[in-house]
Structure 1
Amino acid sequence: MEYIIITFESTNFAIQAEAALKNSDVNVQIIPTPREITLSCGISILTSEENLSKIDKLVNEGKIRIKEVYRYIKDDVKKLERLRP
């Protein structure tokens, strides 16, 4: 399955984004930020990659502030690929 992980500059931005995404009917889950990605904020959001256009729309409208977006592929081995700076 393919998911995306969204990282943030602060925990506050992550919590605000979670609320905005849920209000836009985007199914999200708060997760600990994988150490392979960053140490700047301890929590990230995990969601389906199909929600990427909704996330981009909220970013462009200034409703959420993100740091980076990664593709997360989980088979037998997990892979992380940065999608957005």
Structure 2
Amino acid sequence: MKEYNILFTFYSTHLALAFERELKSSEINLKITPVPRQISSSCGLSGRISGQDLEKVKKVCSDNQIEYEDIYQIKGENFKKISE
């Protein structure tokens, strides 16, 4: 199975930091980064995870009422929106 990464974007910095806190407490690897310019020209934070953790991360968000804006699959320098 080919490994890929997933990027979560958020409506606020507060939600991105809550995402980071809850994933760390659930022992899920993540990286908080600025939102890539290919996605948005506004400032903000995003969370990058392994594609293998997607369903687990969505459950953590749901269980902890962390609302994310969008989810993208990362392929090289390209971002494919996979949420509605």
- Stretches of structure 1 that go unaligned for 5 or more consecutive residues are none
Alignment pair present for 1:66 and 2:68: yes
Amino acid at match of 2:81: R
- Stretches of structure 2 that go unaligned for 5 or more consecutive residues are none
Aligned residues of 1:32 and 1:43 also touching (Cα < 8 A): yes
| Cα offsets for 1:15-60 (capped at 9, x unmatched) | 0110001111110001110112124551101111111011111232
Moved over 6 A (4+): none
Aligned residues of 1:6 and 1:46 also touching (Cα < 8 A): yes
Q: CA RMSD in A?
A: 1.5
Q: Which region of structure 1 is more displaced relative to structure 2, 30-39 or 19-28?
A: 30-39
User: How far 1:63 moved relative to its partner?
Assistant: 3.6
Structural mapping, 1:26-37, within 5 Å: 26-37=28-39
TM-score by length of 1: 0.85
Amino acid at match of 1:34: P
TM-score by length of 2: 0.86
How many residues get paired? 82
